[in-house]
Amino acid sequence: MKKIIHTALASALLALMLPSSGYAAAPDRTECIAPAKPGGGFDLTCKLIQVSLMETKQIEKPMRITYMPGGVGAVAYNAIAAQRPAEAGTVVAFSGGSLLNLSQGKFGRYSVDDVKWLAAVGTDYGMIAVREDAPWKNLGELMADMKKDPTKVVVGAGASIGSQDWMKTALVAKEAGIDPRKMRYVAFEGGGEVVTALLGNHIQVMSGDLSEMVPHLQGGKLRVLAVMADKLLPDQLASIPTAKEQGFNVEWPIIRGFYLGPKVSDADYQWWQSAFEKMVQTPEFKKQRELRGLFEFNMFGAELDKYVKDQVAAYREQAKSFGLAK
């Protein structure tokens, strides 16, 4: 009888110690996987939460960032889905580009249903940039030159043909009456490498994400010809014209977010969701987001899961129009 009472008391104490909401406790060790080399958009996305989760006291120990380049997210996606599916402390950064690659079947045997989509914490926009000393002062001038001879201008971006950076340039080229397949296009692994190539004059034009440009705009070495937003951006970015206002009807928002492995428990998932929901409301996070040139886009849990799956379906249709997907 005593044993039963002791067991009952122990169970009751344990129940009191555990969070009543069904959330797990914070993971002992947290890690953010950036699926590229240092310096690009995935690195930026991981650093945003590395700083913000600490500053807002959601975690007590600093989050580790691990770089896992390869296939613009495919290596990381496969590693989490197959080898590390139940790591409660590990989140992986994704972007609109990851979803585009998923839509084209570039992540191997894994589909959009094979991870747990967790949180979107900001959005970025596509842009086209050149060196400050480039001859083109606006998007129209660049497209006019490319139309005359598409092989004369080398465009670089952080992924292969069919990627979102290629799609951005291809959509603008199509609007200008240029066959996108005739463009001279060089693929790199991540935005950091593209910036280096542009600064070194190995390529003449960069197609990428605006947030990757923010640190370089102050230096005066690069110039953004167009941002692919629906309207002019606020504050110091208001001087950058949109593609739309220059006569090219192309918009390309790029959400930035995180997913978890498919076997992470519901309780651990809910802990992360709650931590992110609290974090994005804080002034500390908003400041960090702004510093990285990202704009507000907060979405979590089931709502994000639906958004991601709808987006993948839409990208698949777009890719079909370029003959990139079946």
pLDDT exceeds cutoff 60 at 207: yes
Q: Same domain for 272 and 229? A: no
Report pLDDT digits (tens) over 273-283.
Answer: 999 999 999 99
pLDDT exceeds cutoff 70 at 20: no
Indicate which CATH number applies to the domain containing 197.
Answer: 3.40.190.10
| Average pLDDT of span 310-315 | 90
pLDDT exceeds cutoff 90 at 260: yes
Indicate which CATH number applies to the domain containing 292.
Answer: 3.40.190.150
- Rounded CA gap, 50 and 310, in Å? 29
Q: Same domain for 115 and 218? A: no
In a domain, 4, yes or no: no
| Domain, as residue range, for 119 | 27-124+254-321
Q: Are 191 and 203 in contact (CB under 8 A)?
A: no
CA gyration radius, the chain: 22
pLDDT exceeds cutoff 80 at 326: no
Q: Same domain for 259 and 111? A: yes
Q: Same domain for 108 and 31? A: yes
In a domain, 240, yes or no: yes
Global confidence as pTM: 0.74
pLDDT band at residue 8 using 50, 70 and 90 as cut-offs = very low
What does pLDDT average to over the chain? Answer: 89
Question: What DSSP string describes 167-225?
Answer: HHHHHHHHHTT--GGGSEEEE-SSHHHHHHHHHTTS-SEEEEEHHHHHHHHTTTSEEEE
Q: When comparing pLDDT for 189 and 107, which is higher? A: 107
- Rounded CA gap, 34 and 77, in Å? 11
pLDDT exceeds cutoff 90 at 14: no
Q: What are the beta bridge partners of residue 64?
A: 31
Distant-in-sequence contacts of 316-321, Cβ < 8 A, 24+ apart: 316/103, 316/104, 318/167, 319/100, 319/103, 319/104, 319/162, 319/167
Total of domains in the chain = 2
Report pLDDT digits (tens) over 94-151.
Answer: 998 899 889 988 899 999 999 999 999 999 899 999 999 999 999 999 999 999 999 8
